[in-house]
Chains A and B, each alone.
Chain A
Amino acid sequence: MRRDQKKLQKRYIFLIVYFILLFIPIYWMLITSLKYDTEILSGLTIFPKELTFKNYVEIFTSSTWMNSFRNSLTYVFLNVIIVLVVAIPGAYAFSRYNFLGDKHLFFWLLTNRMAPAAIFIVPFTELFFTLGIHDTHLAVALGHSLFNIPLAIWILEGFMSGIPKEIDETAFVDGYSFPHFFRKIFFPLVAPGIGVTAFFSFTFSWVELIIAKAATITEAKPVVVTLTVGIGAEGVKWGLLAAAGVLTIIPGAIVVYFVRNYMAKGFALGRV
């Protein structure tokens, strides 16, 4: 018994050390965001000598920053809606039917999740200009569908295949029409999967940089692009950058709070 306890302690020491290492860089960003620029540049301090929120105030009062945050949230929501609307029926097809070319189609969809976004910079720019939607939220939302629709179909198909087919059949025998069955029976059953899918679509769209940059100039400029401007130049405002970095973590954290109960299930299915 004693030996077991010792073993347990060793395990936890490893885990705690790991978590500390994991949090040092984040802590560093957090305290940098709370320092004055002079202190950031004047040498190393583990805790700010003078705590300041001026970097955050500057962001919240700057229309460039606030517009960027608004743009990002707009196209991310638009993307999640597009993805869910087309991926739910798509995943239903893959989970319930055998059809000509289904395996190939599924693999082709997944290859788009693998495709590096860098190769699409010029084609996307051209396409969006041709369609007249360049520099709009819709352009970014469409661009992000490239990798989010395959991912969504993949995750949802996993969840839907976990629901027995007999449920569909029983409902049809009971005289449910398809839309009625879908809304009243199937949708509630697959709701956790939709929650997980929405979370991942949200996250991947929120963090994406290459396509968001290629599809926008000024009107729909996202926060990830605003963040990168000015890096590498002389006199970078490190404090401001750190504060903006801290703020970009918040939306994801809020979403994760809402879907926290479904997450474990999604991971257990091995689809995320």
Chain B
Amino acid sequence: MKYDNRAWLFLVPALAVMALSAFIPLMTVVNYSLHYIFSGSIPEFVGFANFVDVMRDSAFRGALGRQLLFSVSILAVEIPLGIAIALSMPKKGIGVAISLVLLGIPLLIPYNVVGIVWRLFSQSDIGLIAEVLSWVGYEYNVSLDPVDAPVTLFLLDVWHWTPLVALLSYAGYLAIPDAFYRAAEIDGASRWKVFRFVILPKLRPVLVLAFLLRFMDSFKIYAEPLLLTGGGPGNTTTFMSLFVARKAQSYELGYAGAASLIYLFIVIVMSYIFFQLLNKLGSGESQKA
């Protein structure tokens, strides 16, 4: 392959801005993570001691565990539900535009406003959820009950982001030529088989994308738990971003820096593994089909 390194010239402006907005801040975090820092005194270099502290901290491991459980459960619901919605959407006519616009609206709401929407919706004295559940005799309280809070947050995320999965799947679904279905029909394929061997392989690229976006973004969830529950009750909705932000705001900079880097490392490695895995699995399947 022949390289043309003049291309770097086109990248100079982008890299200059990225140096300011990404590289320097990241190096600052690295610097923090290697020091003990107390306000008023000179930072002391301690090597990887902060990292050891973080790994031993049960609060950190608790936040990480909750985070993993949360991301896995929203993926398990949003992806199948999104596909189901996409497949039941009309393929032509006025219904297409209506469905697309309706699906687009939740995606346009700022994250913290989503938190406010759900706060208004679930708060025990003003919300609809508590009232409706009290009809069937369930005492729902999002700010005090350690089960209600994470479940509500889960519902919030499914509500907010399933439309994205649906939109992506729909775009992939529309791109399947009609000839594929006719061929399947002639072969006498059942509806399940059509889905399994015609539709699903064709949706692979968009599903990889939906999966990655939802994994990365759910792993960063911050404003929604902050506004809905403030991370409580107890620590039941304190996910990774909230945990790290709290540490940084209480000026435990060394600890926060180390926790941040571990956090970043997990996100990047898992995204990379998912990406490779899904691509490989997908391509194997489409060859079979």
4 residue pairs, one from A and one from B, having the closest CB atoms? A119-B260, A97-B7, A123-B25, A93-B10
A123 to B102 CA separation, bound complex (whole angstroms): 39
* One of A29, A118, A126 near B222 (C-beta < 8 A): A118
Extra A-B contacts (15), CB below 8 Å, given A22-B102, A122-B256, A232-B230: A22-B103, A26-B105, A26-B106, A40-B126, A44-B128, A86-B17, A89-B13, A93-B10, A96-B7, A114-B267, A116-B260, A127-B24, A231-B116, A245-B117, A268-B174
A116 and B241 contact, CB distance less than 8 A: yes
9-residue interface stretch from A54-62, A145-153, A183-191: A145-153
A195 beta carbon closer than 8 Å to chain B: no
**Chain B neighbourhood of A208, CB < 8 A:** 111
Which of B168, B226, B264 is in CB contact (< 8 Å) with A267? Answer: B168
- Which of A8-16, A63-71, A167-175 is near enough to bind chain B? A8-16
Q: Mark B5-41, 1 if CB is under 8 A from A, else 0.
A: 1111111011011101110111011001000000000
> Is there an interface contact between B88 and A14, defined as CB atoms closer than 8 Å?
yes
* A-B contacts, 9 listed (Cβ < 8 Å): A26-B117, A44-B131, A89-B13, A99-B4, A99-B5, A118-B241, A119-B264, A242-B116, A268-B171
> Does any Cβ of B come within 8 Å of A78's Cβ?
no
Is B60 positioned at the interface, with any CB of A under 8 Å from its CB?
A: no
Partner of B223, one of A210, A232, A249: A210
Q: Which residue of A lies closest to B84 (CB)?
A: A14
A217 at the interface (CB under 8 A from B): no
A207 and B172 form a contact (CB under 8 A): no
- Any chain B CB within 8 A of the CB of A1? no
* Chain B neighbourhood of A86, CB < 8 A: 13-14, 16-17
- Chain A 72-90: CB-based contact to B (< 8 A → 1; otherwise 0): 0000000000100111011
Contact B3 A41 (CB under 8 A): no
Interface secondary structure of B, over-half rule: helix
In whole angstroms, how far apart are the Cα atoms of A238 and B121 in the complex?
Answer: 11
Q: Which of B3, B10, B28, B29 contacts A100 (CB 8 A)?
A: B3
Within B198-215, the residues touching A (CB, 8 Å) are: 205-206, 209
Q: B residues bordering A, Cβ < 8 Å?
A: 1-11, 13-14, 16-18, 20-22, 24-26, 28-29, 32, 84-85, 88-89, 99-100, 102-113, 116-121, 125-128, 131, 159, 163, 167-168, 170-172, 174-175, 205-206, 209, 216, 219-220, 222-223, 226-227, 230, 240-242, 244-245, 248-249, 253, 256, 260-261, 263-264, 267-268, 271
A177 at interface by CB-CB < 8 Å: no
User: What chain A residues lie within 8 Å of B1 (beta carbons)?
Assistant: 98
Cβ B17 vs Cβ A99 within 8 A: no
The residue of chain A having its C-beta at the shortest distance from the C-beta of B31 within the complex is A123
Docked CA distance A5–B88 (Å): 13
Cβ-neighbour of B111 out of A21, A102, A209 (below 8 A): A209
With a CB–CB cut-off of 8 A, which chain B residues contact A196?
none
A102–B8 alpha-carbon span in the complex (Å) = 9
Residues of B within 8 A of A85 (CB): 13
A90 partner, pick from B13, B84, B241, beta carbons under 8 A: B13
